[in-house]
Amino acid sequence: MKIDAIILRELHIPLVRPFETSFGVTCDRRVLLAEIKSDGLTGWGECTAGEHPFFSPESTDSAWAAIVQELGPMLVAEPPEHGGECPRILRRVRGNRMAKATLENAIWDIEAQQEGVSLSRLLGGVRDVIPCGVSLGIQESIPKLLSIVEKELAAGYQRIKLKCKPGWDVEVFDRVRSRWPGIMLSCDANSAYRLHDADHLTSFDAFDLLMIEQPLWHDDFYYHSMLQKRLQTPICLDESIHNRRDTLAAIEMESCKIVNIKLGRVGGFSEAIAVHNAAQQRGVPVWCGGMLETGIGRSHNIALSSLENFTLPGDVSASARYWAEDIIEPEVTVSSAGEIAIPDTPGRGYEVRTDLIERLTVRKEQIRAFEMVG
Binding segment for Mg ion among 114-122, 145-153, 209-217, 274-282 (CB under 5 A)?
209-217
Binding site for ligand OSB (CB under 6 A): 21, 55, 135, 188, 190, 238, 289-292, 315
Binding positions for Mg ion, 232-261, rule CB under 5 A: 238
Query: Is 51 or 115 the residue whose CB approaches ligand OSB more closely?
Result: 51
> Which option in Mg ion, ligand OSB, none does residue 55 bind, with CB closer than 5 to 8 A by kind?
ligand OSB
Give the separation between CA 25 and CA 19, rounded to whole angstroms. 6
Give the separation between CA 7 and CA 1, rounded to whole angstroms. 17
User: Nearest residue to ligand OSB, using CB?
Assistant: 290
**What value does the CA radius of gyration of the chain take, rounded to a whole number of Å?**
20
Q: What residues are paired with 185 via a beta bridge?
A: 160
Residue 104: exposure state from Cβ atoms within 10 A (0-12, 13-18, ≥19): buried
Q: Residues 173, 196: contact at Cβ < 8 Å?
A: no
> Which option in Mg ion, ligand OSB, none does residue 315 bind, with CB closer than 5 to 8 A by kind?
ligand OSB
Give the separation between CA 46 and CA 350, rounded to whole angstroms. 14
**Does position 20 bind Mg ion by CB under 5 A?**
no
Give the separation between CA 145 and CA 174, rounded to whole angstroms. 12
**Does position 188 bind Mg ion by CB under 5 A?**
yes
Q: Is 144 part of the annotated catalytic residue set? A: no
Give the separation between CA 216 and CA 61, rounded to whole angstroms. 27
Query: Is 213 or 326 the residue whose CB approaches Mg ion more closely?
Result: 213
Active-site option among 100, 163, 165, 257 = 163
Give the separation between CA 249 and CA 242, rounded to whole angstroms. 11
Least CB distance to Mg ion at residue 213 (A)? 5
Least CB distance to Mg ion at residue 314 (A)? 11
Least CB distance to ligand OSB at residue 219 (A)? 15
Q: Residues 108, 299: contact at Cβ < 8 Å?
A: no
Q: Residues 369, 9: contact at Cβ < 8 Å?
A: no
Query: Is 213 or 220 the residue whose CB approaches Mg ion more closely?
Result: 213
Q: Is 163 part of the annotated catalytic residue set? A: yes
Query: Is 231 or 292 the residue whose CB approaches Mg ion more closely?
Result: 292
Active-site annotation, residues? 163, 262
